[in-house]
Amino acid sequence: MNPQSFFSNPILRRELIGRLRSPKALIAIAIVAIVSCTLVLMRWPREATIDLVSQGSIQVFRPVAYAIAIAIMMLTPAFPATAIVSERKKGTLVLMLNSPTPPWVIYVGKLLANVLLGVLLFSVSLPAIFACYAMGGISIVNHIIPLLLVFLGMAFQYSALGLWVSSRSQSIDAALRWTYSILLFLVVLSIGPSVLVGKLSGIVAWISQALTTLSPIPALQQITGSQGQAKSIGIGTGWVEYLIMSALTTVGLAMATLYKLHPTMMDRARDAGKVIEAKQSSWFRRLAYLVDPNRRKAGIPFWLNPIMVKEFRTRKFGRLHWLLRLVAAGAIVSILLTVVAATGTVNWGVDRIASSMVLMQIGFLLLLGPSLGANLIASEVESGGWQLMRASPIPAWRILTGKLMSTFLTLLLLLLATLPGYVMMSYIQPAIGGQVSNVVVSLLIATAMVTILSACVSAYSKTSAAATAASYAVLLILFAGTLLIWLGRGNPFGPVFVERALLLNPAATALAEMKAPGFETFQLIPNGWYVGLAICTAGLIVLVLRIAKLTRPD
């Protein structure tokens, strides 16, 4: 294929034009431009005082860089995660794979279309970045060019990740759920081994440092001048290492996806079921059916909500084995962090270990909450099950409470799994017993907020895929956006504005209670609880009104 036909890739044109015509993409690009420019304008000097402002320009450059990075993490993987599985659902994937167009051209078209969309996403923030350069204190070679290269590496890496997950998914909402789950591992959890190992040496330390290069956070810390905090806990990687690892992972994911882009590899064998001899064992099966609990489900008691039972029995993450796996993972990680604090592997205090546990719990809530809550209403409306519920004698309030409790109890079980770690820390340092109880209350409010807000988004969405993506976006803006404001404390945000913004975030309330680094001066309890409960109440009112409208006869 000659270069001219390569640049006139029909898949690239179709994907890029289709996504640019989407109102959601245009709104996202406009929001990134407005937010980045607003952060700079809040600090822009009104008089000829650039020499004085230049000392703090890096403090303005830092929140701008992190804001753009969060936007890339939130928006870039969504489109490729649905690119291949949606083609399979519509029946057009087989047509493309059997056409004269080679599979690698199809893949490159889909990949470059999403990368170009990501480039457009962070290119609208270039005026804000160069405005920071005009204030002085940063350079093009040491700050701007490395930052743009990191953004480009993130766009390639997350686009390849979304396409890889999409080629192996059966549904759109599952593709989104797994894509953001793996993204959470790449960005946050990959730093965990280096934090636990600390400044030790050996093969384990080398492997942990290699995992750290999967995350763009150390690269952003090096570029924005905040790498001192990372080195204090043993993280010494930078933006060059991230670019190398990003290129390697992109190539690896591309090869794995191209392996699946074959007509024979896309075939899905249907389960034929079990073959049994009916004549010889029919009498025994009839007898066993009456007494064997594995062959007959127990009836739903009158005091249980049937909608809640239905949710637990039908969704994948409601099954007992998945819940036990999640609980075991949370308990093991929390106890491991406490052991690290007790043995002194890392020179941390109990407060910093507790802060890490809070961040881990919030990460689990943001990972599972939107995937569970976003499917409560939207999946029923999309599949037609909502019409059956509306025609049943079950009242609307019982339907709503059953669906909310199915998600809340699942997240609550995951939250309670980390309590052994808090108990051990209270035993190590009894003085923090009151702080631990306040942290648990803050996390309970965070669980309620995640459940209710995800359900609200689900109630106003027509498809489960759109509800899942919108739920992740809303919750990340609420939890990560307020922490972004906290990152810009002093310049350009004042302490009063930062404290009022942190009141919206229950995670910040828990971190402030444990006196985490950077949160020592904030007193967010009990005002943070009141704001969180007010958000839950307002969301519940909106949800009740929406459910009443949906259950109303046509």
Task: Give the residue from 184, 211, 226 where a domain finishes.
Answer: 184
Do 388 and 518 sit in the same domain of this protein?
yes
Q: What is the per-residue pLDDT across 362-373, written as a single tens digit (0 to 9) for each?
A: 877 887 788 788
SS3 423: helix
pLDDT at 221: 82
pLDDT average, residue stretch 167-182: 81
Question: Among 38-47, 104-113, 473-482, 541-550, where is mean pLDDT lowest?
Answer: 38-47
Q: What is the per-residue pLDDT across 216-235, written as a single tens digit (0 to 9) for each?
A: 888 888 888 765 455 544 45
Tokens at 270, concatenated? 């249907």
What is the residue-averaged pLDDT of the chain?
77
Number of alpha helices (DSSP H) and beta strands (DSSP E) in the chain: 29, 0
pLDDT average, residue stretch 472-498: 77
* 454 within domain boundaries: yes
Do 306 and 179 sit in the same domain of this protein?
no
Dist CA 204 CA 328 (whole Å): 24
pLDDT level of residue 488 (50, 70, 90 thresholds): low
Percentage of the chain lying above the pLDDT 90 cut = 10
* 153 within domain boundaries: yes
pLDDT at 345: 47
- Is the pLDDT at 498 greater than 90? The verdict is no
Do 175 and 314 sit in the same domain of this protein?
no
pLDDT average, residue stretch 484-504: 77
DSSP conformation letters of 453-502:
HHHHHHHT-SSHHHHHHHHHHHHHHHHHHHHHHHHTBTTTB-HHHHHHHH
* 241 within domain boundaries: no
DSSP conformation letters of 150-163:
HHHHHHHHHHHHHH
- Is the pLDDT at 207 greater than 70? The verdict is yes
pLDDT level of residue 390 (50, 70, 90 thresholds): confident
- Is the pLDDT at 318 greater than 70? The verdict is no
Task: Give the residue from 164, 184, 204 where a domain finishes.
Answer: 184
- Is the pLDDT at 346 greater than 60? The verdict is no
pLDDT at 160: 93
Dist CA 398 CA 409 (whole Å): 16
- Is the pLDDT at 321 greater than 70? The verdict is no
What range does the domain containing 504 cover? 302-550
Highest mean pLDDT among 248-262, 301-315, 509-523: 248-262
Highest mean pLDDT among 247-256, 436-445, 501-510, 522-531: 247-256
pLDDT at 6: 47
CA dihedral 134, 140, 144, 150 (to 10 degrees): 180
* 210 within domain boundaries: no
Q: Is the peptide bond before 526 cis (omega within 30 degrees of 0)?
A: yes
Q: What is the per-residue pLDDT across 1-22, written as a single tens digit (0 to 9) for each?
A: 444 454 577 888 888 888 778 7
User: What pTM value is reported for the model?
Assistant: 0.74
- What DSSP designation does 44 have? -
Neighbours of 21 (CB within 10 A): 9
Task: Give the residue from 138, 166, 184 where a domain finishes.
Answer: 184
* 381 within domain boundaries: yes
Count of domains forming the chain: 2
* 19 within domain boundaries: yes
- What DSSP designation does 524 have? -
pLDDT level of residue 290 (50, 70, 90 thresholds): low
pLDDT level of residue 192 (50, 70, 90 thresholds): low
* 191 within domain boundaries: no
Do 168 and 309 sit in the same domain of this protein?
no
Terminal C-alpha separation, the chain: 56
pLDDT average, residue stretch 97-113: 86
* 290 within domain boundaries: no
